[in-house]
Structure 1
Amino acid sequence: MGTFGSQTSTYNRLVTIFVAVGSMTYGYCSSIISSTIGQPGWFTYFNLPQEGEPGYASITTPAISTANGVFSAGGAVGTLFIMWSCDYFGRKLNIQLGAFFSMFGGALQGGSNSLKMFQAGRFVCGLGIGILVTVCPMYLSEMSSAFRRGWLVGHHAIFLVFGYMLAGWVGYACYFAENKIGTFGWRFPLCLQCLPPLVLLLGSPWLPRSPRWLISKGKHEEAKLVLERLRRSPDDPNNLVAKEEYFQTAEQIRLEGERLSAYGNVWNAVLKKKSYRKRMAIGFLTQWGAEFGGPLIIIFPTEIRPIGMGFSLFGQFAATLILLQTAPMGFDNVGWKYYLVIICWSAFFIPVIYFFFPETARLTLEEIAQNFGEEVAVHLTDATDEEKARLERDLEKRPDSVPQSNSSKDNETEAV
């Protein structure tokens, strides 16, 4: 007998590792600029005064701030774009879009022959990163089982930090390039940022589509097949775990659709529904606070997940834009005291998180709604043995059942 919430397959783990390459792309692309602006050849090529030379504060500092700022601005645009595109096109296609823009932006930076071209590349790369950093953890969460979600979605952070580390070591190694004032020392690290998104883009056609997105679009048969591959186990020959998860997800999406119809559309629901506003505030403050000092996808129900994730990550890039645009000037003017901004914000968020953020561990994405005061269509992780046995008997009798309210969507044309 399979174990609901804990069961996962080798296929699920391989998909997780591969999609986390998008997270590594974010880590590398967002941090490689720090070693680039330390390369003497970069200053020389763009005719920028180096530290200690006349004009550094008035010419170079604004150029560095702009390079950081336009990357964050591109990221903010990407997060706003995905609020619409992630539901319309699906998670998989947005992973492909993010990979393409990240790769194209990296190529512009690595091949730039002017500062304007370099800054344009930073913006385009930021656009791709804004998409990837939103959709990759969302996708990972929707592919994970309840009791393994922390470990599987945690690959987002693992690969992200690996990207940071890789950027640091590559930049350090290139600092010792034979020609200090040549272009290899800064062009090679920037060109290397094209490799992870290229790998992601080339392998993405073989990725499965999110079962929750498929169910929301009426693609029930494909959703069942995906869940069976993700939850397959020798201990569960009848795929009961996959059937239970499908049934719970379909019923919850049906229930959420009924609630949503009372508001007219998803944007009205986000603005008018108290529990949704609470989710948006928690998501935004989490990312704002994290940037000033991967949990977002689990607090948002399916119908507002793209909007909530996009809005929350917009908080991250808004905070990044403020910090990176002001940091060079702040350190020039007040030195170490600029760190007090970070300390104060970090202290502020400790009680906010403790008192206002709900626990989400060991619950399915559908069951988390109860921590925001909403109804859950089907309980599984906290169901009694008798309730579980009754549900399993019911599912074995009708393995191909589809919630009635969604069955009419099966023949709809998918928007991809």
Structure 2
Amino acid sequence: MNSLDETLTRRSLVMRSFSPSAPIADKTLFAGRIEQMSTLISIAFQRGQHAVIYGERGVGKTSLARVMKSMFGETAWTSYYTCSSGDSFGSIWRSVLADFPITDTRPRAGFSNDSVVAASTTLADMLGDEDPTPNKIRKILDLLGEADGNAVIFIDEFDRPDDPVARSLFADTIKILSDQAIPVTLVLVGVADNIDELIAGHASVQRALVQIQMPRMTSEELMEIVRQGMRSANLGVDDLFAKQVVKISQGLPHYTHLLCQNAGVYVVEQGRENVRAADFDFAITRALNNVSQTVREKYHRATFSNRETLYRQVLLACTMAEKDELGTFSAPDVRDKLCEVTGRRYEIPAFANHLTDFSSMDGARGGILVKRGVLRRFRYRFIDPLLPPYILMKGRTEGLTQELS
């Protein structure tokens, strides 16, 4: 193998080992989330129990669901469906049930005892042309139990459909499946702060749903992603590089994968076999170009100005500010970090309008923060969890902070 072929092979190995743009589906590359995996395993195949996986965007809900689908698929029927905004109760179930085949066999003509396949359809064909009801779905799913025991059905992006009736019908379906102990486990996956946001107004169904919250990953879990991925890519990694990646990721595996992938590719291009701490800044420079366009546009809109302003510095200080358990911070928290960023002492009135602009829903710089509380005691939280790590990376490249050194 010549050097170019070897480089391409090593590069493709890095790209497979880290996946910032797509959910992890290979359980050999999945790291962390042991508690959530154990909970799902204990729920699956228990009649009457279903699950809901919820949490903010970017914490790895889909990766967990994909890996668990792969694991359950070794012993049970499984289906995985990702909802879209235009989906209805019926369209979701038609897609889900299409994953479960029905094979009609008949004896072969003559004296042979062999059978032949007369027709092959799916459970979706049993729905007919009419919109399905929860009871119709229950009857069809009950056939799975009679035929082969158990099934696990994952419905991702459950918060996406615009149809308000869909969630109500799903709540009714879950209650019916639970009450009648149908051997099928539904796993709903969606972006939400709590279960009420996913199954609003249906308290009676909550007893049938085991809530699995996906918090941001711990430093130890993110460190496992770094080390496991680098091992898979046949690369060594310095501890300082790994610690810097973990710190800037702020609990979001997307950024851990993004930075490690860019660093790994760079190291391979350099003909090296170890990722050094000095590669961190180069990884950030490359990673900035791979962050979603939506995140980049939000940052540009919030900070752009034709004259010298404090918007970049204040936004960076918001990112660096001490947060409570709900991820909120106050103006005094921002003041302390703004002093670190600028090297100057600013009092709250000097940047209060900046916080107002960021938390407005109307202005050009708005839609960045959500503001809660009362005058002089406001607390703020980033709306998009993927934005703060990007702000930190921008601050690093612009020389506004060396906090991650």
- TM-score band w.r.t. shorter chain: under 0.3
Which structure ranks higher in relative contact order (CA pairs < 8 Å, sequence separation ≥ 6)? Answer: 1
* Higher strand proportion (structure 1 or 2): 2
* Higher helix proportion (structure 1 or 2): 1
Largest Rg, 1 or 2: 2
TM-score, normalised via structure 2 length: 0.25
TM-score, normalised via structure 1 length: 0.25
